[in-house]
Amino acid sequence: MELEEWGLVVCVVLAGLFSGLLAMLTLILQPMMARMSGPELARFLRAFLPPARTSPFNQIEVLGLMIAPVIVLFALDETGAPFWLTAIGLALTTGGLFLVSRRLSEPNYDVMLAWDPDSMPADWEATRRRYFTLNWIRATATWTAFGLFLAALVDLLRS
């Protein structure tokens, strides 16, 4: 296997792992959180968000999803389908995962972690909705990138 093929294998594995994490978050945890009262949600997020924010898994995943596709793009010697599929996957992981996480989700986490469970702010439901929406944006971007990286690898292996 060539460098670009190994790089795409790494992209597929990392995007697949992160896709599973985001599927669990959006399809299992979010419906559970949607049924919680404000104080229950605040207490849950105080236990959930700090380790999720500092998890080496998350940091390695996101960093890998930004570095591996760049390596693939430089290793490919032509700009055929694998190049463009990888480039779009990189744009989705950089914009839809990294930038949404850093610029939008992280500040929203700060707001939620500041909630006092015994005195919830009037807009807590809107903040929860924003949290859910941002998770769906990141999930959709990651799932799409996973499909693109997989398609790029299949196309590359066929040629």
pLDDT, tens only, 21-47 = 999 999 999 999 999 999 999 999 999
Domain ranges of the chain: 3-158
Cα–Cα distances in angstroms (integers) from residue 119 to residues 25, 47, 87, in the given order: 26, 18, 47
Q: What CA–CA distance (Å, rounded) separates 35 from 50? A: 21
pLDDT for the residue numbered 107: 98
pLDDT, tens only, 72-113 = 999 998 889 999 999 999 999 999 999 999 999 999 999 999
Going by pLDDT thresholds of 50, 70 and 90, the confidence category of residue 70 is very high
Number of residues that make up the chain = 159
Q: What predicted TM-score, i.e. pTM, was given to this entire model?
A: 0.95
Residue type, 100: V
pLDDT above 90 (res 1): no
Give the DSSP letter string of 55-78.
-HHHHHHHHHHHHHHHHHHHH-SS
pLDDT above 90 (res 134): yes
Candidates 155, 146, 159; CA nearest to 69 is: 146
